[in-house]
Structure 1
Amino acid sequence: MYAILDIETTGGKYNEEGITEIAIYKFDGHQIVDQFASLINPERSIQPFVVNLTGINSEMLRNAPKFYEVAKRIIEITEDSILVAHNAKFDNRILTTEFDRLGYNFEKDTLCTVELSKKLIPDLPSYSLGKLVRSLGIPLSDRHRAQGDAKATVALFKMLLNKDAAKEIITKSVRKDPKRQLETKLLDMIALAPTDTGVYYMHNKDGDVIYIGKSKNIQKRLTQHFTSDNRKSKRIQLEVTTVSFEKTGNELIALLKESSEIKGLKPKYNRALRRTLFHYQLNSFIDAEGYIHLKIEKADARKKPITTFTNYQQAKTSLINITEKYNLCQKLTGIHTTSGSCFNYNIKECEGACIGEESPLEYNEKVTSFLEDYSFANKSMLIIDKGRDLDERSVILVENGVYQGFGYYNLNYQITNLDILKSIINPMKNDRDSQHIIQSYLKKRKVLKIVNLEKNTTN
């Protein structure tokens, strides 16, 4: 659990500042579960430059509560939470000082979104809150006021959690959260899980990830894990102490995250999915007469495939469908092995490329049409789909045939600049599995929209 906060102060000498406004959002890693915001009477003067910066003056604070009057509420809302702030050292020092004046020892673990941003989103021109969130497409209202800045920090932290492929943030949370360490009953873990689409992470007592999975209904999938009596499930049930999760909004991003993070984190109970997802691929070659042939082959990293398949039967079925859809020749796609005409020519469903009646130019136009539809080569596109909330969309970026990563944006903040788009994208490894996942998914399922970046058209 996280307490994401922002504090405005009077300014002045070090450790003599007073709080003028505070906003705290309790955040469970996915949504805000509690909040508190208030002006505070600091019982001291406010520096003029601070008045100009925040707009908060002494007259506004005359009838505001003093710190001791809200101290109990602050303790309650931050209980069992890691403090998160933009420049957390400052906010934590101010809070600690105020509680010291009351004779209360206020100690919290902290996370700083400035430091996290520099690590997870390097090389940005500025990491001040205003410029940073603007560059990431995060709306910010009431700059230099506690509620506005804290709410923007929530959105920023949510993005940083998503970019944290090594899961360092959540691991720290699991290790430090005493309530999570006590949640050993499997039924409690199931009850806390959402029914949304996403990726889930099982942790041991040290916070280390021991298993990663994806599901369209995380709660239902955990129920299956924790009620199964197979050998692996029983071992997981004994070792797991908590489950964290990330909503993805749609299954395609869940599949991509699961594949990438299993390879990166190498959880002990995910041995099977560390290996490649596909075993066959479709390639092409040109024969002596100039005809383009299609051929199913075993996966070979030295060759760039047109598309990939999990097994041979899937590959053969797909090639039969491709042959029918694009009116190709069964002999030239390897479906019918013959020295003469193919079966479809005999029933007048092939135009005769197999025996030279259809010219290479005419036949290859049909093959080229298929290649343009199926191949990732040199394609640049955005795959737009549902986000984690109703007012959010997800975006996957493929550039020149290379999968770059995914991100999320708010519908109220339309992303039209490619540089801003790239800044919200979580960079992901472009391996053959990720391309296999994207190609296979788009063949079987619909997404909200595909934007062709070269032609700037939508499908």
Structure 2
Amino acid sequence: MNKLKNITYAIVDIETTGGNARGSRMTEIAIVIHDGEKIIDRWESLINPEQHIPLAIFALTGIDNELVADAPVFGDIAQKVFDMLDGRIFVAHNVNFDYSFIRHQLEEQGYKWTARKLCTVRLSRKIRPGFRSYSLGKLCDSLAIPISNRHRAGGDAEATAILFSSLLQWDTEGALDDMLKKAAPDQRLPPNLAPEDFKALPQHPGVYYFMNQYGKVIYVGKAINLKKRVASHFTGHNINKQRQHFLKEIYHITFEVCATELMALLLECTEIKKLWPAYNRALKRFEPKFGLFKYEAQNGYLYLAVGKLKKHCQCIQVFNMEYDGVQVLRQLMVNFELDHRMCTFGATEIPYASRGCADQPELPEVEKHNAQVELAVDHLLEQQPTFVIVDKGRTPEERSYVWVEQGNFYAMGYLDEYTQLESMEDIRSSLQRYPGNHYMMQLINAYIAKYPRKVTYVNDCQKAVVLPELTGDSDEESLILF
């Protein structure tokens, strides 16, 4: 039973024109005042939303444009709503939905209002665990709570009030008191997320996964502190439609601890590329647009060309700007005396190197030309560094490794201190292979610019290697010695 004194609760339900407060409006509101023992007041009203009510909303609630035509607009009842809510605990089933609408529309009318929130979905999960569904209708059916006028504010608010009274009677462990504590983390969590998933998060670097009710990953993120970063998703008063839908879809969280922020960043990139989660958008924009390609034409000659990247097309090197690719190809053409007629410079109509050249000599021998092209490509690849980054591991007994092969991210992983390493090839073959991309190399290059002594450039993979002891400080530089 609730032990908190002199506290009253405003149990609220609303009907709306849509699913988010920024683009939708309320069409009905009901408020039931509860003193912790019984209902002491109730009020409800239709609201003219001053916008069209979609047919799907009418089918669900029975509220249409005609029904609210003569109803007050929200500005007419804002003072009444504020007076009933002010100074009380705000209670609702899936509380953040109702709270976001009311707070937003009160702010539009000039009322500065915030309240401590209590979600009856979360309270029900704590006091009466084990039900398959905690939607208001199914929960009331399971608990034999009468509910009439379903999907109307008055009927749902009345049923929530009866549910709330029952939960107070069943609360023998003080769950309500715990949830009302100012710092109670459960109050910030999405309504469908199991609290134990959040509690299991460590305060270490890593990658976290938000999953929907079917176990499908809908978002992947990286963190220096997993618990702190995940909690930040659930704080603040953001009424954006995408965020509201996002929070509703989160049912589970899983995670993987990483030794360093760099390892977390790289793992995040690979997981987004593999899973392509619905709510990850930022990293999808970091792919380069152009590449340097090599191909053999029907005449038998090898051609080099700068062009736009397409999915599943292999290229020699990628570029953010077409100009950068043109400069690389032009330098190869000059250094290796490649025939300009077999070099295509991006979108220009006339090959860059042939402008102003009136004389067109005979084509070179196929074998000689192709050998020069292969030599140029090999030289370009050799200029791309192969190196390994060594840093601390997830435990004092292991180390983390990031392997870059000819300028491309190749592999990463962890090896414990008891692993016998006879050569650099032993390290390379022991790590997990991952597909890389241009953005991941940007991350790696930024890291090695900051910590150059953590990097060893590899010229001969058969050389013996001696690894020094690493301290627990990830910022302290280390060195691989040969």
Q: Same fold (TM over 0.5)?
A: no
TM-score under structure 1 length normalisation: 0.39
Greater Rg by CA: 2
